[in-house]
Structure 1
Amino acid sequence: MTVSSSTPASAPSAAGDSVASLPELVIDPSVFAPSAVSPETRAVNAGIVKALGAVPDRWVFPMALLRKLRLDGKGPFPLAPESPYASVEEIDGPHGPVALRIYTPPEPAKGVYLHIHGGGWCLGSARENDGLNHRLVERTGFAVVSVDYRLAPEAPWPAAPDDCEAAALWLVREGKARFGTEHFVIGGESAGANLSVATLLRLRDRHGLSPFRAANLNAGCYDLGLTPSARNWGDEPLVLNTRDINVFVGHYLREGGEVATPDISPLHGDLRGLPPALFTIGTRDALLDDTLFMAPRWLAAGNRAEIAVYPGGCHVFIGFPGSLADKALARIVAFLAAS
């Protein structure tokens, strides 16, 4: 794993004086070595590639069918049983009702985690994240509010960030009365991490709000123009490959939108005034560069950041069983608990 520091360092100037420098982000290069990948992680990855490689071209099927298969437990990620903590309610959004899957802890909530699921802006649902969100409730004592935002291609950009913005504003208005706390954090996986940052920027720029104490950003896609790791990944079906990313982006932006717009590609945005963030990524993720580029930009904007890079971890590896996922989840829990 990597080590990160968000404490300003001092460096001698040419005149011999000490001058403040930007926080230093230290990444141990050994985590990228093939030898750093455990046999268990290799086996998990091999199983994923074998399973997905045996499936016909999934993009010949309608998106609605792919969504149903995921909800039937036939997607790439294991489907956990429904959480007994979960209930569903709807709030008003700019395009109609927005469903929220709310996980309520048995004891008074210590905080509220606004969760935004992944799936390339086209797939996925709050229900499919019951396993991870149930564990977060149990290990942090937080309530979780997971947003079932509208999906492309039926509802392309800006529908998804519009719905996420509405959910965040609902939490700001209702959170204290509903959960007994204003200790709010935000986060998500893949497209959900993208939407989490877009939501932070919208609340800051449109509403003058900074209600979240921390951001948990897992395997995010922060540049829809494709970073080098995404562009050069190729066809290997280790959860996500280059073609998948291009298909997702094409559906999400099918009605237009400039790729470099921060609402679409937050890597290009003004990141000042955002909360401390934990960036989690595996070295066998097509979106590796997105995190390696975004974490330093977060720091350079004057925000605290931690980065955790896991040897051999595939795209959103925390969704698969194994000790690597257990370690990452423990780091996430500790980060949220300390927020």
Structure 2
Amino acid sequence: MTSARPQATLRPSTPLLVDPALFDPASVAPDTRAVNASIVKALGAIPDRWVFPMAVLRKLRLEGKGPFPLSPESPLAQVIEIDGPRGPIPLRILTPAAPPKGVYLHLHGGGWCLGSARENDGLNHRFVERTGFAVVSVDYRLAPELPYPAGPDDCEAAALWLVREGPGRFGTERFAIGGESAGANLAVATLLRLRDRHGLAPFRAASLNAGAYDLGLTPSARRWGDEPLVLNTRDINVFVGHYLREGGDIGTDDVSPLQADLTGLPPALFTIGTRDALLDDTLFMAPRWLSAGNPAELAVYPGGCHVFVGFPGSLADQALARIHAFIGTC
């Protein structure tokens, strides 16, 4: 009688295990509650920001007249322009004093309509100091004036520039990519485009913070409602409407990367707060990343609002330390 083949012992994967207590309101720290309350108060005082054209909102933000303070300009920053499919693309480059240990390609948030590399000087300067990496932040074209695919085209061009020019300019081929909100969406879109269009996989790691990965709206985005905690359901619909105003399909891989084939992508750290309208985007995307054969880590922070790393507090400090460590060891 033939003996039965022994069964392999299956151990649950640990990187994506999530403690249910993280979602308990009692787990939210007092300073996180205070930050959230101040955001709701500031944005709740604005009658309707969408009556203003996006160009006006961008100008106000760059002048420090938006709802939140503008960070000081980094003394490390310089701006260059590279060629793109629709003309010049500005890159804001922050370089450490010592030779860079690597280069982080940063794609800012803002719903594909707002935001800029300059507005991220505070976070990017801190990133340079804590990791020793240079940061290349892309001022990609914005909707509604230049909707999809203009933004992803610019990000793809910037990534190809880094692959081509990065080793000579920075003295390293150690590249990482990432972004916040719409920037995380564009980071994944860029990885997919490099893989599918160019046969390239140059990035060793991806830091994906509060990304929008399904523009058809995941349940948390659809059900969030009107609370103005940085981002609400109406805001998401406004941004998506502008971004896809010339016919982009929400089912396209580089529009809604949650729907894409994710094989062959780099290790990723997914960062999200439990008080983020895009919570489900990350909770759905991280397991898909892992199931496609890519290393993935999921960091969930109690009470964190949308892109909470951009606001002061112990929660942001904790999350940024993990992001810096993740990229610094890639």
CA deviation after TM superposition for structure 1 residue 35, in Å = 0.1
- Over residues 175-229 of structure 1, what are the superposed CA-to-partner deviations in whole Å (9 max), with x where a residue is unaligned? 0000000000000000000000000000000000000000000000000000000
CA deviation after TM superposition for structure 1 residue 21, in Å = 7.3
Matched to 1:18, the amino acid is A
- Over residues 59-95 of structure 1, what are the superposed CA-to-partner deviations in whole Å (9 max), with x where a residue is unaligned? 0001111001111223344311100000001000001
CA deviation after TM superposition for structure 1 residue 294, in Å = 0.2
- In 1, Cα distance between the equivalents of 2:35 and 2:6? 53
1:13-24 aligned within 5 A? 17-18=7-8, 23-24=13-14
How many residue pairs end up in the alignment?
326
- Over residues 119-142 of structure 1, what are the superposed CA-to-partner deviations in whole Å (9 max), with x where a residue is unaligned? 000000000000000000011000
Matched to 1:267, the amino acid is L
1:39-188 aligned within 5 A? 39-188=30-179
Map of 2:278 onto structure 1: 287
Please state if 1:248 is matched with 2:268.
Answer: no
Matched to 1:149, the amino acid is Y
1:211-290 aligned within 5 A? 211-290=202-281
Unaligned stretches of 5+ residues in structure 2: none
- Over residues 302-339 of structure 1, what are the superposed CA-to-partner deviations in whole Å (9 max), with x where a residue is unaligned? 00000100000000000000111000000001001110
Three-state SS of the structure 2 residue aligned to 1:273 is coil
Map of 1:306 onto structure 2: 297
Kindly indicate whether the alpha-carbon contact (under 8 Å) linking 1:115 and 1:188 is maintained by their aligned counterparts in 2. yes
Three-state SS of the structure 1 residue aligned to 2:299 is strand
Kindly indicate whether the alpha-carbon contact (under 8 Å) linking 1:108 and 1:180 is maintained by their aligned counterparts in 2. yes
Q: Are residues 260 and 23 of structure 1, via their aligned partners in 2, closer, same or farther at CA, if it must alter by over 3 Å?
A: farther
Matched to 1:207, the amino acid is H
Matched to 1:40, the amino acid is D
**What's the TM-score once normalised by structure 1's chain length?**
0.94
Q: Which runs of 4+ in 1 moved over 3 A?
A: 19-24
- In 2, Cα distance between the equivalents of 1:171 and 1:181? 10
From 312, 316, 335, the counterpart of 2:326 = 335
**What's the TM-score once normalised by structure 2's chain length?**
0.97
- In 2, Cα distance between the equivalents of 1:293 and 1:15? 36
From 171, 196, 208, the counterpart of 2:199 = 208
Q: Are residues 251 and 22 of structure 1, via their aligned partners in 2, closer, same or farther at CA, if it must alter by over 3 Å?
A: farther
TM-align CA RMSD: 1.3
Please state if 1:319 is matched with 2:300.
Answer: no
Map of 1:10 onto structure 2: none
Unaligned stretches of 5+ residues in structure 1: 1-13
Map of 1:37 onto structure 2: 28
Map of 2:180 onto structure 1: 189
Q: Are residues 321 and 29 of structure 1, via their aligned partners in 2, closer, same or farther at CA, if it must alter by over 3 Å?
A: same
- Over residues 143-187 of structure 1, what are the superposed CA-to-partner deviations in whole Å (9 max), with x where a residue is unaligned? 000000000000000000000000000000000000000000000
CA deviation after TM superposition for structure 1 residue 20, in Å = 5.7
CA deviation after TM superposition for structure 1 residue 16, in Å = 5.4
Matched to 1:242, the amino acid is T
Three-state SS of the structure 1 residue aligned to 2:317 is helix
- In 2, Cα distance between the equivalents of 1:30 and 1:41? 16
CA deviation after TM superposition for structure 1 residue 260, in Å = 1.1
